[in-house]
Structure 1
Amino acid sequence: MGYQKSTHDGLADEIFREHHRRLESASIALTRNAPVLGQLRRNVHAIVTDVAEQFDLPASAFDPSADVDGIDEVVDHALLPTEIGVDRALRNIHPIESLRAAALLFEVALPIILRRYVVTDPARVAAIALALHDAISRRVSLSSLAYVNYLIEKLQASRREERRRIARDLHDRLGHSIGLALQNLDLSRHYGTHDRPRADAKVGAAMHEMREALQTVQELTAELRRSFGADGIEPALRGYLSASVPATISTGLTVTGDVKVMPREVGEELYLILREAARNAVRHGEATELRITIVATEDAINAEVIDDGRGFDLIDAQTAGFGLRSMAERADLLNGRFTITSAPGSGTVVAVEVPLYGPEG
C-alpha cells in the first residue's frame, strides 16, 4: 500500500543513521547491499512508529538530509517482514545476521528515544524498552519464519523434481524394456508353430529386455536406498560409483578438506547434483573416465564432475532430458553457483560452488 509520512520520521532517521554506522563498524553483511539497506530503513521506521504511537510520543520532524545514497524512498508495506525473510533467503543472508542487526538496533534505538523525549521515570523507561524489544522481536520472528518457509518450499520443489525424474526413468527405461519383451514374446508365440529359429530368437530378445528391466529396477532401488547418510557425502558418492557405474568406465573420487562441516540438507542436495552429473556421463556421455572432486574450505564447498565423453551442445541439452535444469535449481536452492562446460567431442565438466555460512556481500 502507499506510504504516508509518519510524524516520527525524524526520530526514525536518526536511529537508522546510527544503526547503519554501528552495522558497518561490526562488519555485519546487511550494509553491503543497497536494497537490503532500504529494507532496514523501512523496518526501523515501522518499529519506531509502533513504539512512538503506543506511548503517544510527540511528533518529530522529517529530516530530508537524512536520506542515504542508494536507498529507495521509504515505502510502507504490510508484508515487510515476509519480504525481508524471502529476500534474505535469496541473498543467502543467514538469520543470525538479522539477529545481530536486531540486537544492535535495540542498543541504538533505546538511548536515542529516551534522550529525545527526556524519559527518566524508571517505570516508563522499562515500559518503552519492553515495547521496543517486542516490536523488534516480532518482526525478526516473522521474517525468520518467511525465510524458513521459503527454503522449505524450495526443498519440497526439489524433492518433487526428484520424484518426477524417477517416474520418467520408470516410464522411459523400465516401461520400454518391458514393452519390448512383451512384443517379442508375442512374436515368439506367433512364430512358434512354423518358424522355430525365429521364435527362439524372439524369446532370447525378450529375456534380454527383461534383464535390462531388472537392471533398471536394481539401479533405481539402489538410488532410493543410497543418499547422504550419517557418514556424509563421500561414502554416498563412493557407493554410487561402485554400484551404478559400469566397470568399463574408470572412476575416481577425491575429497579435500572436512566435508563433514556441511549441514545435512546441503549435503543431500549436493549429492543429488553430483549423482545426476555422473549419471549423465554414464548414460549419455559415452565416457571412459569419470572423476569427481570435492574441496571443502571454511566458506564453501567446491565440487566438479569431469568426464572424457562425447560432450554435447549446451543449448540442445536443455531440452534433451539431461536433468540440467534440475541440477541448476538444486544449486540455486543452496544459493550456489552451477556451471557446465561442454562441447561436442570434448567431454564435460559440471562445477558447483556452495557457500556454507558466509552471507552474500
Structure 2
Amino acid sequence: MPVAEPAERAFIRDRIVASVDATLRAQQSVLVDDEVTAGEVRSQVRDIVNDTLLALADEADRGVFDPTAIIERVQVGLTSANIGRSRAGHDVHPSDSLSAASALFDLALPRLIEALGDVTLTAPTAIAVARTLHHCIMARVASASVGYVDVLLERLSVAQTEERMRVSRELHDRVAHGIAASLQRVNLGITAARTSTDDGIQMFTMATGLLEQALDNTREIALELRQTVGNNVLDDAVRDFLGDAASAGSTTAVHTKGIPRRIPAGVGEEVFLIIREALRNAVAHAKAAHIDVTFTWTDHNVAIEIHDDGIGFDPFQVRTDSMGLLTMRERADVVGADMTVASKTGGGTSVTLTVPSRNGTR
C-alpha cells in the first residue's frame, strides 16, 4: 500500500520546500544569497522529500528498510556531487550546508509524521520516518561532500604545481644562470692563461664572484623551502621568515592588532605561502623600499594586509595567467579565504587576505 499518492507527495514536498527556504532566509544563510545557490537548495529539498516518501512507500510494501536503495536512488538522479562542486565554486563552507541539512530535518520530520499519521496500523512509525529522512539527507550530503572535496583537491594540486614551477624557475633563472655564466668566465680564463695574457686572473675572479652569488641564491631558495608555520602563530612565523630572508634593500615591519591565535596547520601553511609570495613580489617586481605586514585578529577572522611603497601596477593590465597572483588566489580559495589586491601605478600595492574563524582559528 503506498504511503502517499503523487498529489499528496507534491503537496507535502512543496510545503517543506517553502518552509526550508523561508527559514534559511530568516537565518541569512549564504545558501540563499544568490538565486543559483538558492535554486539548488530548493531542488535538493524536493529530491530529498521525494526520496523519503518513496523509501517509506517501499518499506510499507516490503516490510523491510533498505538504505542501499536510497543510495542508489541518489546516484541515478541528479548527482549531488555536482552540487558539492557548485558549493565549492561559490565558496560556501560545509558548515553552512550541514546547518541547512539540520534545518531540513527539523522542519520536514513533523510535517511528514503529520501527513502520514492518519494511515492505518501498517503506516510507518515516527521512528521509521525519522530514520528514512535521516538516510535520505545524509546520502546526498555524503555525495555532495565528494564533489566539494574534489574541487579542493584540484585547487590544492594547482597550488602545489605552481609552487614546484616557481622553484623550477628560481633554480633555472638564478642558480643555473649564475653557474653557466661562471663556467663561461672559467673557460675564458683558461684560454687567456694559455695565451699568457693578463685577462686570465680577471676572468677567474669574475667566475668566483658568480659562483658565490649562485651559492647564495641556492641557500636562499633552500631556506625558503624550509620555512613553515609549525607550532608558531602566523605573526611570529612571518617575523622569523623576514629575519632570515634576504630583503634586497627593502625594510619590513610586522604589526599585530588583537590577540594572535594558532590556526590549523593546513590553513596556516597555505596562508604563510600566500604572504611569502606577496612579499617576494613586493621586493622583486615592485622594487619596494618599505613593506608593512599587519595582522588584525578578531573573534570572527584574521585579516592580513601586506602593503608596499613600490612602483605599483594597473590591475586592469595584469595578465589573467599571471603566475604569482594566480597561485595566491588558488591558495586562498583552498582555505576559504578572501583575497583582494589594490594597486595603482606609482602608488604602491596592498594585498589583503581575510581568513574566517570557521576555518578553525582558536
Normalising by structure 1, report the TM-score.
Answer: 0.83
Whole-Å separation in 1 of the counterparts to 2:30 and 2:320: 39
Distance 2:323 2:92 in 1: 31
Any conservation in 2 of the 1:318–1:325 contact (CA below 8 Å)? no
How many angstroms does 1:226 deviate by? 0.6
Q: Partner of 2:11 in structure 1?
A: 10
Match of 1:300 in 2: 301
C-alpha distance in 2, partners of 1:200/1:254?
A: 49
**1:239 is aligned with what amino acid?**
D
Alpha-carbon distance change, 128 to 339 in structure 1, aligned in 2, over 3 angstroms: closer
The residue type paired with residue 304 of structure 1 is E
**2:67 aligns to what?**
none
Q: Is the 8 A contact 2:79 2:143 kept in 1?
A: no
Measure the CA separation in 2 of the matches of 1:338 and 1:18. 35
**Residue 185 (structure 1) shift:** 0.6
Distance (whole Å) between structure 2 residues aligned to residue 31 and residue 312 of structure 1 = 36
Match of 2:111 in 1: 112
Aligned to 1:102: 101
Q: Secondary structure at the match of 1:192?
A: helix
Change in CA separation of 1:157 and 1:80 when aligned onto 2, cut-off 3 Å: same
2:234 is equivalent to residue 233 of structure 1: yes
> Which structure 1 residue ranges, 5 or more long, are not aligned?
1-5, 58-75
Task: Give the Cα–Cα distance (whole angstroms) in 1 for the partners of residues 214 and 290 of structure 2.
Answer: 25
Q: What secondary structure sits across from 1:295 in the alignment?
A: strand
Q: How does 1:255-334 map to 2 (within 5 A)?
A: 255-314=256-315, 318=319, 323-334=324-335
Contact kept, 8 Å, 2:155 with 2:333, in 1: the verdict is: no
The one-letter code sitting in structure 1 at the alignment partner of 2:141 is V
Counterparts in 2 of 1:316 and 1:183: CA distance versus 1, 3 Å: farther
Q: Deviations over 1:27-55 (max 9, x none)?
A: 54433332222112211221222222233
| C-alpha separation in 2, matches of 1:143 and 1:83 | 7
Which residue of the partner structure matches residue 41 of structure 1?
42
Deviation of 1:123 after TM superposition, in Å, equals 7.4
The aligned residue for residue 81 of structure 2 is: 82
State the match for 2:68 in structure 1. none
What CA distance in whole angstroms lies between the structure 1 residues aligned with 2:322 and 2:178?
19
Alpha-carbon separation, structure 2, partners of 1:309 and 1:95: 39
Is the 1:43–1:80 Cα contact (8 Å) retained in structure 2?
Answer: no
The two structures, once aligned, show a CA RMSD in angstroms of 2.7
Distance 2:51 2:318 in 1: 54
Residues 31 and 96 in structure 2, CA contact (< 8 A), matched pair in contact too = yes
**Structure 1 match to 2:51:** 50
Tell me the residue number matched to 1:175.
Answer: 176
Structure-2 residue corresponding to 1:93: 92
* Contact 1:31/1:37 (8 A) holds in 2: yes
Return 5+ residue gaps in structure 2 as ranges. 1-5, 59-74
Shift, 1:26, TM fit: 4.5
Alpha-carbon separation, structure 2, partners of 1:247 and 1:29 = 44
Q: 1:298 to 1:83 in 2, by over 3 A?
A: farther
Letter in 1 for 2:105: F
CA apart distance, 1:304: 1.9
Q: Indicate yes or no: 2:187 matched with 1:213.
A: no
Query: In 2, distance between residues paired with 1:342 and 1:294?
Result: 19
Q: Which moved more, 1:341-350 or 1:228-237?
A: 341-350
Q: CA deviation at 1:235?
A: 2.2
Task: For 1:19 and 1:121, locate their aligned partners in 2 and report how far apart those are by CA, in whole Å.
Answer: 30
Equivalence for 1:244:
245
Q: Secondary structure at the match of 1:229?
A: coil
Q: From the superposition, tell whether residues 302 and 171 of structure 1 become closer, same or farther in structure 2 (CA, over 3 Å).
A: same
Q: Could you say if the C-alpha distance between residues 14 and 342 of structure 1 is closer, same or farther in structure 2, counting changes exceeding 3 Å?
A: closer
TM superposition shift of 1:319 = 8.3
Q: Which residue of 1 aligns with 2:70?
A: none
Counterpart contact for 2:343–2:350, Cα < 8 Å: yes
State the one-letter code of the partner of 1:86. Answer: R
Match of 1:66 in 2: none
CA distance, structure 2, for counterparts of residue 343 and residue 27 of structure 1:
36
User: Match of 2:97, as an amino acid?
Assistant: S
SS of the aligned residue for 1:124 comes to coil
Q: Distance in 2 between matches of 1:108 and 1:253?
A: 49
Is the partner of 1:231 in helix, strand or coil? coil
2:66 is aligned to: none
- Tell me how far 1:279 sits from its aligned partner: 1.2
Query: 2:92 is aligned with what amino acid?
Result: I
Displacement of 1:181 after TM fit? Answer: 0.7
Structure 1 partner of 2:131: 130
Instruction: Write the letter of the residue equivalent to 1:109.
Output: A
Cα-to-partner distance string for 1:292-351 (whole Å, 9 max, x where unaligned): 112122233222222223334545654897722222322333444433333444333223
- Cα distance in 1 between the residues matched to 2:135 and 2:271: 39
| Residues 1:208 and 1:343: Cα distance change in structure 2 (over 3 Å) | farther
**Residue 256 to residue 119, structure 1, CA distance change in 2 (3 Å):** farther
State the identity %.
33
Count of aligned residue pairs for this structure pair: 335
Aligned equivalents of 1:297, 1:153: Cα separation in 2: 30
Letter in 1 for 2:39: G
Q: Deviations over 1:55-105 (max 9, x none)?
A: 339xxxxxxxxxxxxxxxxxx983441122222223332222222222222
* 1:346 and 2:342 correspond: no
In 1: Cα distance, 2:282 partner to 2:41 partner:
46
Task: Describe the superposition over 1:159-215 as per-residue Cα deviations: whole angstroms up to 9, x where unpaired.
Answer: 111111111101111111011011111101111123543111111111111111111
Residues in 1 aligned to 2:145 and 2:134: alpha-carbon distance in whole angstroms: 16
Q: 1 CA distance for matches of 2:28 and 2:121?
A: 35
Task: Give the letter for the 1:99 counterpart.
Answer: L
